[in-house]
Structure 1
Amino acid sequence: MPVSDSYRPEPRFAALGGDYGDPVRPADFPETRLRFRNDRAAATVGLDALTDEEWIKGFGRFEPLPGQPGPLAMRYHGHQFRTYNPDLGDGRGFLAAQLRDDAGRLLDLGTKGSGQTPWSRGADGRLTLKGGVREVLAATMLETLGVPTSRAFSLIETGEALQRGDEPSPTRSAVLVRLSHSHVRFGTFQRAAYLGRTDMLEALVEHARTLYHPGVAAGDAAGLLSAVVQASARLAARWVAAGFVHGVLNTDNLNVTGESFDYGPWRFLPRYEPGFTAAYFDQFGLYAFARQPEAVFWALTQLAGALKPLSDAETLTAALNGFGPAYIGELRTAFLMRLGVKSVGEAADQRLVDTTLALLRAGGDALRWEPLFFDWFSGFASSERALRGPRRGVYQGEAFDAFRFALFEHEPDRPERLEADVFRAAEPEEMLIDEVEAIWSAIDRDDDWTVFNTKLDRLGAAGIAYDFEARQRSEQ
């Protein structure tokens, strides 16, 4: 398969050996119809020059890319809604490839819906097309809003009629490929601990430390935990600032790089609602919007428990105790980023977070989550735009006065971004459930992909306008 000179294969997970994954064969799909390819992401790993036919061979038929060992179903355990499950593992996906990007980071190409594996537990190993469409939309929206996320890389419709209990059946099938910084989960470590394999734990610590947290000293399990704590705090804060609800924060859905991935029953907040849940089966609100930091911390404690054979409890506890302060600091940073303003010190920055949440709470149904950040992006530089816009009637009263005072303490960060056409619109790009369903309805009813593709184009334009990637680079 032809690749560009910038393609750099580096299959490091497979080099760990057979204790960590199982070679598998991808499903032989009756058809492969390319529905989405992320050329921007592909360009970062030297795969953008592939023709559509070559793309389908690589990401629909899974002919191995050059220098790659072939599909590997990763082994892991995990807590699912806080109940330990030792029968997990890649049940409908596999690690297809590992390669370096143009920044030198090691990235994974991982699949979803690519067929049965030894860990399928009787399931069909498939993905519905609707599920694939939803994952592309979620990942693209999160990338737009500056959340560390896997990127949807490819979506190919596969021509099977699937039976599902949670959507009308039979339904169309697809295979998704995501480009992610790592698929080494908290549950990967939990499995090694469950098996009593200290040697496996040591190998995993060195693997994760060397590849993803090189600042950690060799053999320092607590140091690795501390790095993962910091990355996870940042992720939780970015979810909250984006008004995002992941839905299923099990320990097999959190990884060592603090990058969000695997989007099932996700939602974005329509308005400020701390108890808002994404999964219909989350009956007790365990993973509700405002409980996500708690859920991430709980998962981190399970990772710490798995690392006990390699470090003393006091040192691991100290690493865990870093989560609270890190999360608070990251939340301030995330809100400043979303509002497009600069820091002026902890007290003033925290006041801005508090007054923003108070205004969202006071605004109720009249003030959706995303429009507030859109209206006031760049702070006082957007005053005229916001006060003449569709929500001008909401921007009054005590809660607004406190918010405006806190916001105007902060200098705009790169206010020239307001010159983008995106900010001439009355409404921001959102990803509420009604729009998601409308996008799917057009595909399901009429095989019309226009609305889907148009939405992705608009999100791309919004991402360029916000330019959160530049902010994040400056923080690193």
Structure 2
Amino acid sequence: MTNRTHSPHSNPIAMQRYTSLPDDMYVALAPTRSESPTMLTVNTGLIEEYGLSVEWFESADALGFLSGNHDYDGASPIAMAYSGHQFGHFSPLLGDGRAHMLGQLETADGKWVDVQLKGSGRTPFSRGGDGRATLGAVIREYLISEAMAGLGIPTTRTLALVTTGESIMRDYQMVPGAIQVRTAESHLRVGSFQYAYSKLGKDGVKALADFAIEQHFPEIKGRDDKYPAFLEAVSLRQADLISQWMLVGFIHGVMNTDNAAIVGESIDFGPCAFMDDFKANKVFSSIDRDSRYAWKQQASIGYWNLQRLAETLLPLFDDDTDNAVKTAETQIGAFIPRFQLAFQEGLKRKLGIASDSDAADAFVDNVLPVLEDEHIDFTLFFDALTSVAEGGSEDTLLRYFDNAEKGKDWLKKWRQFSDRDQATLTAMRNANPALIARNHQVEKAIDDATERNDFTLFHRLSNALKTPYVVSDKNVDLQEAPLPEQCVLRTFCGT
């Protein structure tokens, strides 16, 4: 399927929709030139999903355009402004300190997708930074976003990676620089509304909300209550997204309001990680010293972020502040039952349990404490349980229990509630990946690439993570939990 509006020889990035926003919401400027760029990888699978030809993306013109080495005549690259609560503390001006929004491309089904460069040089929002990204950071984002996409979780994607041919200083050493070419349904964040509210007041928030509704929530644009409906729609998407994260053991690590996309996509994969052994209070991020963004905290933080969005929208709800607050509370109130239902139903699918009885629900509620008490790997447990449900040996699962008798007792109870019909088994497999982006594998791929110029593992992971529910024989080793000496205890932004 090929986009009828796009020649395979021409640049498909055809418009810049954000310049219709108030001028204070962005700064027009071109990326910084790269010293000696090379195209590290082009995500041909994603390009094909968009219905585009890969030909332009592999051309010299594409390399120049995506590395900053282009005159940009006729193009309108910008850096976007936004605010954000970072670990609970408000920063009135953040913005794209190392990113440039090139514009949008049109997919074969008529949708417009943002194309942004990360690591493309300084902007007015750089705050003393060099505006560049490390090769390790863009590899991490590529692998995690491909893992998310393979799992069916809404996410930004990586269209290509470009090495700049330059070395940049990080942690008192020189490391290779690179640029990520990122795509997204939208780069608008809760922090975008916070910036519009603090900088431009009611008129700015209204312009931004109207833009967001027109572009991303057209089903509500004709409603008289479109602004409250917008808050509710964002709340429901956040509830769905965070439940999906938690059901695969994913910890975002930096759920600041500037990292909360209003369209419900996963965005900004810095010190994120998938859990190995299950721990409800697990934290990987080196900068999350108070466990604010632990696995079990993510729903609460999602709701807290929505409260910050609601504060900016109050002037659009009602001139009477009390009435506006009541409206906001009602709309974001939709988040809690939506999340609870999505998470509970998702956990039941992972267990192959269709029953709605109180006894079944009590059993489901106790499964994660069992995993924590027994120090069981989250992904391996549910993958093995799926194998048992499909007729495999119970030993596949029992080997993960420290206490074998406890494991046998748990399996006996599970069989009382589990279902064997094909629909339930299919749903169970589709809820339980056999492969995730293991932290130790991601770190090794980064080390191999940055220290030895070896991209073998990076390419293996990139391909394997596209199909996480079916693992080929040659990739069985990628399923393995880390040995004690391989465990990653802390993850870093690495920007």
For residue 267 of structure 2, give the secondary structure of its aligned residue in structure 1: coil
Answer yes or no: is 1:158 the counterpart of 2:164: yes
| 1: CA distance, partners of 2:416 / 2:65 | 54
Equivalent residue for 2:219, pick from 215, 218, 222:
215
| 2: CA distance, partners of 1:414 / 1:64 | 55
In the alignment, which residue of structure 2 is the partner of 1:59? Answer: 66
Answer yes or no: is 1:360 the counterpart of 2:371: yes
Output the amino acid matched with 2:346: A
| 2: CA distance, partners of 1:27 / 1:337 | 48
CA-CA distance at 1:208 after TM superposition = 1.1
Answer yes or no: is 1:102 the counterpart of 2:104: no
Equivalent residue for 2:290, pick from 276, 281, 284:
284
For residue 59 of structure 1, give the secondary structure of its aligned residue in structure 2: helix
| 2: CA distance, partners of 1:377 / 1:64 | 54
- Going from structure 1 to structure 2, the CA distance change for 1:346 and 1:448 (only over 3 Å counts) comes to farther
* Cα root mean square deviation, aligned: 3.1
CA-CA distance at 1:363 after TM superposition = 2.8
| 1: CA distance, partners of 2:251 / 2:427 | 31
- Going from structure 1 to structure 2, the CA distance change for 1:333 and 1:38 (only over 3 Å counts) comes to farther
**8 Å Cα contact 1:93/1:113 also seen in 2:** yes
**8 Å Cα contact 1:358/1:399 also seen in 2:** no
| 2: CA distance, partners of 1:411 / 1:347 | 24
Equivalent residue for 1:306, pick from 308, 312, 315:
312
CA-CA distance at 1:5 after TM superposition = 9.8
Q: Deviations over 1:60-112 (max 9, x none)?
A: 2364899x742110111111111110121111002112133234433211221
| 1: CA distance, partners of 2:18 / 2:221 | 20
CA-CA distance at 1:276 after TM superposition = 1.2
In the alignment, which residue of structure 2 is the partner of 1:472? Answer: none
In the alignment, which residue of structure 1 is the partner of 2:343? Answer: 331
| 1: CA distance, partners of 2:331 / 2:214 | 19
Answer yes or no: is 1:376 the counterpart of 2:394: no
Number of residue pairs matched by the alignment: 452
**8 Å Cα contact 1:143/1:463 also seen in 2:** no
- Pick which of 98-107 and 288-297 moved more: 98-107
Equivalent residue for 1:194, pick from 187, 198, 207:
198
| 1: CA distance, partners of 2:214 / 2:425 | 35
**8 Å Cα contact 2:154/2:265 also seen in 1:** yes
Answer yes or no: is 1:401 the counterpart of 2:412: yes
Answer yes or no: is 1:177 the counterpart of 2:181: yes
Answer yes or no: is 1:251 the counterpart of 2:262: no
| 2: CA distance, partners of 1:337 / 1:63 | 50
CA-CA distance at 1:55 after TM superposition = 3.2
In the alignment, which residue of structure 2 is the partner of 1:83? Answer: 89
**8 Å Cα contact 1:29/1:158 also seen in 2:** yes
In the alignment, which residue of structure 2 is the partner of 1:42? Answer: 47
| 2: CA distance, partners of 1:350 / 1:6 | 53
Structure 1, unaligned runs of 5 or more: 467-476
| Structure 2 length-normalised TM | 0.83
- Going from structure 1 to structure 2, the CA distance change for 1:55 and 1:334 (only over 3 Å counts) comes to farther
**8 Å Cα contact 1:268/1:431 also seen in 2:** yes
CA-CA distance at 1:42 after TM superposition = 1.4
Amino-acid identity (%)? 26
Answer yes or no: is 1:135 the counterpart of 2:169: no
**8 Å Cα contact 2:118/2:133 also seen in 1:** yes
Output the amino acid matched with 1:315: T
For residue 183 of structure 1, give the secondary structure of its aligned residue in structure 2: coil
| Structure 1 length-normalised TM | 0.86
In the alignment, which residue of structure 2 is the partner of 1:471? Answer: none
CA-CA distance at 1:444 after TM superposition = 2.5
Structure 2, unaligned runs of 5 or more: 1-5, 318-323, 473-495
- Pick which of 183-192 and 147-156 moved more: 147-156
CA-CA distance at 1:33 after TM superposition = 1.7
**8 Å Cα contact 2:93/2:195 also seen in 1:** no
**8 Å Cα contact 2:189/2:261 also seen in 1:** yes
| 2: CA distance, partners of 1:254 / 1:155 | 24
- Going from structure 1 to structure 2, the CA distance change for 1:129 and 1:5 (only over 3 Å counts) comes to closer
- Going from structure 1 to structure 2, the CA distance change for 1:92 and 1:362 (only over 3 Å counts) comes to same
CA-CA distance at 1:349 after TM superposition = 7.7
Q: Which has the higher contact order (CA 8 A, sep 6+)?
A: 2
For residue 163 of structure 1, give the secondary structure of its aligned residue in structure 2: strand
Q: Deviations over 1:46-71 (max 9, x none)?
A: 252322434312322364899x7421
